[in-house]
Amino acid sequence: MVAVKPADADAFVARPDPAKPIVLIFGPDAGLVRERTERIIRALVDDPRDPFALARLEGDDLAASPSRLVEEAHTVPLFGGRRAVFVRAGGRNFAPAVEQLIAAPPAECRVVIEAGDLRRNAPLRVICERAKAAAAIACYVDGERDLIRLIDEEMRAAKLAISADAREALAAMIGGDRQASRSEIQKVALYAAGKERVELDDVLAVVADASALALDAVLDAAFAGRTQETEAQLAKVMAGGSSAGTVIGYALRHVIMLHKARLALDAGEGSDRALGAFVPPLHFRRKPQVEAALKAWSAERLGRAMQQLADAAREMRQFRTPVDGLAEPVAQRALLSIALQARRKA
């Protein structure tokens, strides 16, 4: 197997192995795939904008004309210099073109293939992982350590320090796509330009929807049965200016997604797929709490909680104004009731 280990991927991208002129970069993190593709191309050619130095091909075109890849890879540059071929995978299978290239690998040219999330048995992935002349680099979603390293890297580049709580909060708010994460970190650095250190307030001002984060804390506490924490987090949300109607509406959307995920689990779907239906996507730090709620709550119990929140929302709509002092106790009662129900097993 010639699959590059995740820990070695960045080193390979910075210094591509000449013995492996064909490189496949793929995975579920589209931003990281794109970032590594751009970096390895910059390492292979002097000017990626020069069409004589970098030929660009579409995988769908190669599916119809497999020999074109071999011809392009063996083309001698008119003006000398380093040369590479970039292939963007599409919806069609162009593995036969790559097979032909592996049978006659180029000596002077490098071929970089960018693809999406490929199954382990996908023909393109299998071919590149088995060939001695090729290397396959998988790009998986950043974990906590990767995000911390990315934050520190960008802060050093901006000549900024970052406090521990700001780093932890920022890591919790990004992830899922490397380029998007890097962009958010750079926004924080730009916002804090002129300061010596990035603080938590800087992160919240740029990246976070603080009210959404606080609402998540209320709901996670309620569905875990932590009544005191539910009450305390709800008080913070209300003090922050959120209305009781917003809280109940947010809670209702959350329980609807929980109910949908619970039904999916009951139907035999895996946990990752069931949780993948959440909108917006769950951050990896919050995922364990939602998974715990799914295990503790049956579809029937979630259905009752859904009805309870809907009744609370309906009751609030009967009040003359949203600030007449009556809506907040209704929201508090509904969420504390859910927290008490979470303590029961049935």
Residue range 199-211: average pLDDT? 74
Domain match, 191 and 270 both:
no
Domain match, 124 and 20 both:
yes
Tens digit of pLDDT for each residue in 57-92?
999 999 999 999 999 999 987 777 889 999 999 989
CA dist., res. 214 & res. 227, Å (int): 16
Lowest mean pLDDT among 197-206, 303-312, 327-336: 197-206
Domain match, 264 and 201 both:
no
Domain match, 198 and 218 both:
no
Tens digit of pLDDT for each residue in 252-280?
989 998 999 999 999 988 888 888 778 77
Domain match, 122 and 16 both:
yes
Q: Which of 115, 138, 161 is where one domain is finished?
A: 138
Contact, 179 vs 214, CB < 8 A? no
| Residues facing 86 on adjacent strands | 56, 112
Domain match, 195 and 215 both:
no
pTM for this prediction: 0.63
pLDDT bin (cut points 50, 70, 90) of residue 165 is confident
Cα–Cα nearest to 249, from 330, 346, 320, 180 = 330
Give the CATH number, domain containing residue 339. 1.20.272.10
Tens digit of pLDDT for each residue in 113-163?
999 999 999 999 999 999 999 999 999 888 888 999 999 999 999 999 999
Number of domains present in the structure of the chain: 3
Contact, 59 vs 95, CB < 8 A? no
- Token look-up 């008119």 returns 78
Give the CATH number, domain containing residue 169. 1.10.8.60
Q: In the predicted model, is pLDDT for residue 180 greater than 80? A: yes
Domain match, 8 and 134 both:
yes
Q: Which of 118, 138, 158 is where one domain is finished?
A: 138
Q: What is the domain range of residue 217?
A: 210-343
Predicted pLDDT of residue 324: 47
Residue type, 93: N
Cα–Cα nearest to 184, from 253, 38, 49, 283 = 283
Residue type, 62: L
CA dist., res. 291 & res. 295, Å (int): 6
Domain match, 215 and 319 both:
yes
User: What phi and psi, each to the nearest 5 degrees, are found at residue 21?
Assistant: -75, -10
Domain match, 157 and 266 both:
no
Domain match, 187 and 113 both:
no
Token pair listed for 54: 């970098």
Domain match, 74 and 8 both:
yes
Domain match, 234 and 321 both:
yes
Give the CATH number, domain containing residue 45. 3.40.50.300
